[in-house]
Structure 1
Amino acid sequence: MTRLITRRAAAGLIAGTAMAPFTPASAGRIIELKGGGFQPINVAVAPFIGDEAARTITSVTMNNFKRSVFLKPIDGATVGEDGSPDQTPNLDAYKGINAQFVLTGRSQRTGDGRLKTEFRLFDVTTGEQVAGQQYVTESANMRRVAHLLSDAVFTRVTGEKGFFDTRVVFVDESGSKDKRRKRLAMMDQDGANVRYLTRGDDLVVTPRFSPSSLDVTYMAFNSDGEPKVLLMNIESSQREVVGNFPGMTFSPRFSPDGQKIIMSLSQGSSTNLYTMDLRSRTTTRLTDTSAIDTAPSYSPDGSRIAFESDRGGSQQIYVMGAHGGDAKRISFGGGRYSTPVWSPKGDYIAFTKQNGGNFSIGVMKTDGSGERILTEGFHNEGPTWAPNGLFLMFFRESGGAGGPKIYMVDVFGRTELQVPTPGYASDPAWGPLQD
């Protein structure tokens, strides 16, 4: 199968070439990703053949599967075979370690110094190869190759889209609690390859990815405290002011087609929702109340908007059409609800809930039914969805003199993991799968 793995010229990724064909229709099982008695699928990862790059790819792939909840990695080295993709592995030996799938591969330099990586995935039950891919890229992109092949395996085994080849933009925080420096930063979903996008001259909050994965919008406050909505291209680092409005602006977020930004604008005692067309810079008001309407989020098809409002007396979640009009309250549990975010799959809305001194991260169906809390603690806030709708990131503060950290939880609340960052970190925004 041929795979193009370009990420614009700046990333240095080169087109892949084809491997021997296989027949996906003959491949293994599609699992049902539901709650209850789900058991992860055991995938043995044989050590990839090659030098340091091969070892890195093997390690990153193992870590991806470990963090995925739905796949359970098994160290294939215990079988005593190498990971050569040129031959069918000893599947009987892998049955002995309870593997359901076996991943083999190789990563080596080509004559021009590039890195050539190939993998094959075998179904232990049928004995058939069910996936295979080859990539050619610059050596510096070995971690991304591991994410790409991890996505291919995850999709083949589960029937769901992968999420490993993604990036997260967040706010890096340093300094004392009363004089915190906040910089815009970006990392891979596993915390690697951190890159700082701003210097910290301005305080930045609420970054959000565009659907294209190349632009982010965020709020910045200069030394005078004046708020601005900015748009940044993360490859070129070019920035432009989208809006410099009278009053306070909050929570900018892209529409699904990337052509608009929706935000809230505070003027006087009320805060209402507005959209701005990024081509014409025309602003349209969506709500007109004396309440505080904020934190808007589009449905994946762009037809509806979820937002928080205190129009009923306390912070709750409402849903309305994308062009405004009547809004319907959908949150009715005890406590206050905020930061609603629509799942990319369209099936859930994630939220922050404050009740009895605790802050929880939860999900509910888009009509408000089926609410369930995934995690709770002293201060959890700011959920953001993985592009496959199966995972959430958020940030947590534990109190005291410390600062926030970023965590990841699956949509069923089975496993919670801290995402490593250089220092304190908040406001994560998960980007789409990369081009």
Structure 2
Amino acid sequence: MVIRTHKKLLITLLASASSLLVAQSSLAAPVVLQLDYEIPVQQNQVAFVPFAGDSVLSPIILNDLSRTELTVTNKNLPQQPRSSSELAGTLPVWQQLGIPYLVVGSTRTDRGKIVTNYEVIDVQSGQVLGGKQSLSSDKDAQSMRYAGHVIADKIYELITGTPGDFSGRIAYIEETGRGNNKVSRLKVMDADGENAKTITEVTGSIFSPAWSPDANRIAYAVQREKSYPVIYVQNVSGGAAHVITPYPGSNLSPSFSPDGSKILFSSSFEGSANIYETSSSGGTPRKLTNWPSSEVQPNYAPDGKSFVFVSDRAGFNKPQIYRYEFGSGRTTKVSNSGYATSPQFSSDGTQIAFLSGRSAAIMNSNGAVTANLGNTGIDEAPSFSPNGKRVVYASIQGGKGVLTIKSLNGGQSFGKSGQGIIRSPVWSANPK
């Protein structure tokens, strides 16, 4: 979103303010507004005033917003207001600063909860975008972190018109050791790379985690020594995982339907690998593909009317991405590159992240490549953030596994290293 300061309007407002000062010079109490010093015009789009009474939420919110295409500052501000009402006499000073948007707020304790009131102000007009916002949260660190991300989501949406992607979480696999000593951990972290927690740990391999639409469950495949991969579904908040594919074959790549009631997966329990659909609680699967080739890595389209998958029907070592339509059963080829695997839809269905050879890439729904993120050194594709503005992908840098969160529209990108090798990061939707 390109935001420009309207200098003509700014000059008019300043002139009017100066006239007001002259007209009221005879009053006993001086007007608070003063324009007799220079304020450096800034190129930032958002001025963020740390919330009054708070030391926890503000750093989280500022960090989140700073990772987007918005440029945000909390430095060299002329005032530390906690609400729009405190700007009544000083709005022209903020207008002279040259920053289009101002975020102010405060926190207080109410019956054991932390209540945060905040406002996003259009500095030129003095209007509060969307009115005063309020959020109540528990006092514990986990709840406070989540509240900070939710507030950042709302601030981003009020300014850009697009929901933020900070309250979604990222699941990934961390592998240490080799052979019979390999240990795999399924971990979940916040979208800012912090607050990582282990969901499950196995001696063996974990593959292809997938979030449920409500971000409460994760499906994933586990392969222990001398056994086939089996798909589990587990609640992120705790509890035992349950098996949904107790079949003697390679059961891999689960994908939840948009309503969370079904799961697509690939399996070789009837011979060559095909795509199946089953209830997310388990049950008899329905076979959807029946080609003599291998069909793997299904991923539901956001509208649930189709899914994409990978097939080698074009020839050995020539995998391509295809789309299957539930209504007609028709299958069409989507990808145009020589080697295309691991498709993942964006939340609006207009883009598909995939692996093009050894490079992470993005194509539109017609197969045209729109972004190439480069060779990651690992055979895995990126995963979109909830609003499609960022992606997360795994790579190897300096012999270490790294998670990279990359902006697709000019925002800040950053990486997080882990122990051993990192695989298969996938971004959840924002919890409802």
Q: Same fold by TM (over 0.5)?
A: yes
Task: Map residues 128-277 of structure 1 onto 2, 5 A cutoff.
Answer: 128-131=127-130, 132-140=132-140, 141-175=143-177, 179-267=181-269, 270-277=272-279
What is the deviation of 1:278? 3.2
Matched with 1:123 is: 122
Q: For the Cα contact (< 8 Å) 1:168–1:186, is it kept in 2?
A: yes
Q: Deviations over 1:112-160 (max 9, x none)?
A: 4421211111001111111421122211222212111111111111111
Which is strand-richer, 1 or 2? Answer: 1
**Structure 1: distance between partners of 2:250 and 2:276:** 13
Q: For the Cα contact (< 8 Å) 2:306–2:326, is it kept in 1?
A: yes
**Structure 1: distance between partners of 2:65 and 2:160:** 12
**Structure 2: distance between partners of 1:238 and 1:189:** 25
What is the deviation of 1:423? 6.4
For 2:426, which of 413, 423, 429 is the aligned residue? 429
What is the deviation of 1:343? 1.3
**Structure 1: distance between partners of 2:202 and 2:282:** 30
1:385 aligns with 2:384: yes
Change (3 A) 1:177 1:48: farther
The structure whose Rg is larger is 2
Matched with 2:323 is: 319
Task: Map residues 381-420 of structure 1 onto 2, 5 A cutoff.
Answer: 381-398=380-397, 402-412=399-409, 415-419=412-416
Q: TM-score, normalised by structure 1?
A: 0.82
Matched with 1:292 is: 294
Structure 1 segments unaligned to the other structure (5+ residues): 1-30, 34-39
**Structure 1: distance between partners of 2:97 and 2:139:** 33
Q: For the Cα contact (< 8 Å) 2:156–2:162, is it kept in 1?
A: yes
Q: Deviations over 1:139-187 (max 9, x none)?
A: 1222212111111111111111221111112112334699432111111
Partner amino acid for 1:427?
A: S
Q: Deviations over 1:305-343 (max 9, x none)?
A: 11111111211111121367342112223x311101111
Partner amino acid for 2:48?
A: V
* Root-mean-square deviation over aligned CA pairs: 2.5
Matched with 2:39 is: none
Matched with 2:56 is: 56
Identity %: 25
What is the deviation of 1:241? 0.6
Change (3 A) 1:324 1:310: farther
Q: For the Cα contact (< 8 Å) 1:338–1:352, is it kept in 2?
A: yes
**Structure 2: distance between partners of 1:190 and 1:408:** 9
1:81 aligns with 2:82: no
Q: Deviations over 1:344-394 (max 9, x none)?
A: 11111111111xxxx222221212135431343433623212122222111
What is the deviation of 1:238? 2.5
1:373 aligns with 2:377: no
* SS across alignment from 1:78: coil
Matched with 1:46 is: 49
**Structure 2: distance between partners of 1:413 and 1:47:** 25
Q: For the Cα contact (< 8 Å) 1:320–1:326, is it kept in 2?
A: yes
Q: For the Cα contact (< 8 Å) 2:275–2:287, is it kept in 1?
A: yes
1:343 aligns with 2:346: yes
**Structure 2: distance between partners of 1:352 and 1:420:** 21
Structure 2 segments unaligned to the other structure (5+ residues): 4-42
**Structure 2: distance between partners of 1:96 and 1:361:** 44
* SS across alignment from 2:63: helix
**Structure 2: distance between partners of 1:307 and 1:59:** 41
Q: Deviations over 1:378-424 (max 9, x none)?
A: 336232121222221111123x6x33211112335765321465765
Matched with 1:26 is: none
Give the length in aligned residue pairs: 386
Q: Deviations over 1:279-298 (max 9, x none)?
A: 57121111111212111111
Matched with 2:27 is: none
**Structure 1: distance between partners of 2:376 and 2:238:** 39
**Structure 2: distance between partners of 1:351 and 1:361:** 6
Change (3 A) 1:74 1:186: same
What is the deviation of 1:96? 4.1
Q: For the Cα contact (< 8 Å) 1:177–1:403, is it kept in 2?
A: no
**Structure 2: distance between partners of 1:93 and 1:180:** 61
* SS across alignment from 1:44: strand
Q: Deviations over 1:11-55 (max 9, x none)?
A: xxxxxxxxxxxxxxxxxxxx479xxxxxx97111012111xxx22
1:330 aligns with 2:329: no
